[in-house]
Amino acid sequence: MKLTFGKANSKLQKLEVALQAKVITFSLPSGYACPAAKDCLSRANRETGKITDGVETVFRCFQASAEAIYKNLREMVWQNFEYLRTFGNDYMKMAQTIHESLPEYFNVCRVHIGGDFFNQAYFDAWIEVAKMNPTKIFYAYTKSLNFWIKRENEIPANFVLTASRGGKWDFLIDAHELKCSEVVFSEDEALQKGLEIDHDDSHAATGKKSFALLIHGTQPKGSYAAEALKAINKSAKVK
**C-alpha to C-alpha distance for 78 and 230, rounded to whole angstroms:** 32
Model confidence, pTM: 0.94
Pick the residue with more confidence: 227 or 17? 17
Query: Which ranges in the chain belong to alpha helices (H)?
Result: 10-19, 62-69, 71-85, 91-101, 120-132, 145-150, 171-175, 187-192, 202-206, 224-238
Distances in Å between the alpha carbon of 185 and those of 62, 71, 197, 214? 14, 30, 11, 6
For the chain, percent of residues with pLDDT exceeding 90: 89
pLDDT (tens digit per residue) in 173-229: 999 999 999 999 999 999 999 999 999 999 999 999 999 999 877 887 878 888 888
Scored b (16 or more CB within 10 A) or e, 164-200 reads: bbbbbbbebbeeeebbbbbbbbeeebbeeeebeebeb
* CB contact at 8 A, 198 and 204: yes
Q: 39-76: buried (b, 16+ CB within 10 Å) or exposed (e) per residue? A: bbbbbbeeeebebebbeebbbbbbbbbbbbeeeebbeb
What is the per-residue pLDDT for 237? 62
Asked if residue 234 has pLDDT above 70, the reply is: yes
Q: Indicate the residue type of 197.
A: I
Question: Of 71, 76, 70, 67, which Cα lies nearest the Cα of 1?
Answer: 76
Average pLDDT over the chain reads 95
- The amino acid at residue 107 is N
- Assess whether pLDDT exceeds 60 at residue 238: no
Domain positions in the chain: 6-168
Q: What is the separation, in whole angstroms, between the first and last Cα of the chain?
A: 48
Per-residue CA distances from 233 to 9, 96, 127, 152, 229 (Å): 19, 43, 38, 39, 6
DSSP summary character for residue 129: H
- Determine contact, residues 120/150, Cβ cutoff 8 Å: yes
Distance CA 183, CA 132 (A): 32
